[in-house]
Each structure stands twice: as structure tokens, then as C-alpha cells.
A and B are shown apart, each in its own frame.
Chain A
Amino acid sequence: ILNVEQSPQSLHVQEGDSTNFTCSFPSSNFYALHWYRWETAKSPEALFVMTLNGDEKKKGRISATLNTKEGYSYLYIKGSQPEDSATYLCAFSTGGFKTIFGAGTRLFVKA
């Protein structure tokens, strides 16, 4: 059974803090790792898709790294802002259409 674990489940930080959270996935049959941001009452929005071991992606203050050999990815947010408050989902794929999602990390940024 393919399982994707995300930690922590939730995180409360102050505005300006930098933070990071983890996605763990099976290291065998890896094809791609996705990160999504899901704000309340909105659609999940794709942040990154990574396919190669050692990949690093960056979008503004948010960046992600990938280690396919050990089966983890980190998402970093530098200088958190209240608008970063959302659930961050990671999703693992072995190829094809079935993508396995984690339960998400819920981030709360207090002004």
C-alpha cells in the first residue's frame, strides 16, 4: 500500500518566521512529487512538481527540495505572511494517473 505522510499536521507561526514541513513517500517506483496549496474555500493550487532526485524548486518565498533515494521532500516558506495560511498538500505518483495525496500540513500565520 502506497502511503504519503506529512508532518507536522498543523503549524502555528508568527508573521516573519521561516518555516518548513516534510513529506515522506515510498522511495521505490518514484515518478513525480507534487506540492499543492489549498486555501480555505478555494481550489487546491499547484505549487511545484518535481521529478529528479536533488530537484530544488522556488516560487517567491516558497521553495521545495526532493530526495527520492530516501523518500522525502521539504517545503520551505521564508518570512511567512498571513496570506500563506493554508493547507499544504504533497502528492506522490509512480506514473500514470493515480496520485497519492498526504493529509496535508495546515499552516496558520499570525500577524
Chain B
Amino acid sequence: GAGVSQSPSNKVTEKGKDVELRCDPISGHTALYWYRQSLGQGLEFLIYFQGNSAPDKSGLPSDRFSAERTGGSVSTLTIQRTQQEDSAVYLCASSLVKVRGDTEAFFGQGTRLTVV
């Protein structure tokens, strides 16, 4: 596709269930990021992939969160045993080359996760 695609766009889940969020980056973009925005907060960095490798996982808020990327393309963010504080908009972004601080990132529309 032409842009970064995320699915689902909305997800309502019960507390304690696992959820999987998917990101399809722009074709050829080697760098991929996950962020989340909780109500009233800025975008919080979660994890970054360069190809299939994640050099920095320090942003993942707990061990219930994991992410993988396969084939240097699609990425999935998995949240196990969801809690209400996990409710947020989860955004994925990709960029063309190994990122520097001035590289433009292209964002998806996000997945709005609501844990009830």
C-alpha cells in the first residue's frame, strides 16, 4: 500500500485477554517504530526495529508487552493479560533508512485499544 497500515483500527477487549496489533510499514522502509498515546499524554516510545532486529526494547512498559517483525516488513505488537491502563492509541511508524534524529517517519492511523 501507499502508506503505513495498522489493524485493527479499534479493539475493545476484556481485562486479562491477550491482544495482537498489526503494522504494515511502507514497502522498503527498514526502520519501524511503535508508540502509544494514553489519554492526555504525549506519544510514548515503545520499541524500534531496524530490519527484523529490535536494538532497544527499553520502552516496553512491562513484560506483558512483546513485539516482533518478520521479513523486514510486518510487525505485531502483542499485549498479554491486558490491563485497563493499557488502553491507549497504539501508533506504528516507518522510515526509509537507518534512522537519524532528523529522518522523517510516516505514521499509520493507529489502533485504539480499550480494555474494559
Contacts and interface: CB of A to CB of B under 8 A. Distances in A.
Interface of A: 4, 6, 31-32, 34, 36, 41-46, 49, 51, 89, 91, 93-104
Residue of A6, A42, A94, A96 with most chain B CB atoms under a 10 A cut-off = A96
B108 interface: yes
Residue of B40, B44, B93, B101 with most chain A CB atoms under a 10 A cut-off = B101
Contact of B41 (A32, A46, A91, A103): A103
Residue of B3, B93, B107 with most chain A CB atoms under a 10 A cut-off = B107
A66 to B, nearest CB: 12
User: For the complex, would chain B's binding face be called helix, strand, loop or mixed by DSSP majority?
Assistant: loop
Interface of B: 3-4, 31, 33, 35, 40-45, 48, 50, 55-56, 59, 91, 93, 99-102, 104-110
Residue of A6, A41, A95, A101 with most chain B CB atoms under a 10 A cut-off = A101
